[in-house]
Amino acid sequence: MTESTRAVAQLPGLDVELVHDRTEDGSAERLAVRFTGRPDLKTAAKAVEPHLMTALLAANPLLKMQMDMARRFWGPLLEMNPLLRPLLPPPDKD
């Protein structure tokens, strides 16, 4: 069994859970992020979105790098579908 580190933040309408561990054979490291929105993620996102992503990215440069990579990969695909466009984060100002 591998040792894992778990952190939970409870915001108004949104729970954020981070779990960091290694695979069972120890060959890889994992970081899982789970968002639970109440009553749903869209409502929770409207309340915390202006502040949450800014705080997360400022606190963790690795997360910023991963978000940038995901934006470059998924961005063009999401932009092609108008229904998915709201899932795109705003572009960086830097």
**Choice between 26 and 75, residue whose per-residue pLDDT is larger:** 26
Tracing tokens 């970081």 back to the chain, one arrives at 31
| Amino acid present at 15 | D
Chain segment 8-52, per-residue pLDDT in tens: 998 888 889 999 999 999 899 999 999 898 888 888 877 777 776
Full DSSP string of 5-55: EEEEEEETTEEEEEEEEE-TTSS-EEEEEEEEESS-HHHHHHHHHHHHHHH
Tell me what percent of the residues of the chain surpass a pLDDT of 90.
21
Q: Where are the domains of the chain?
A: 5-82
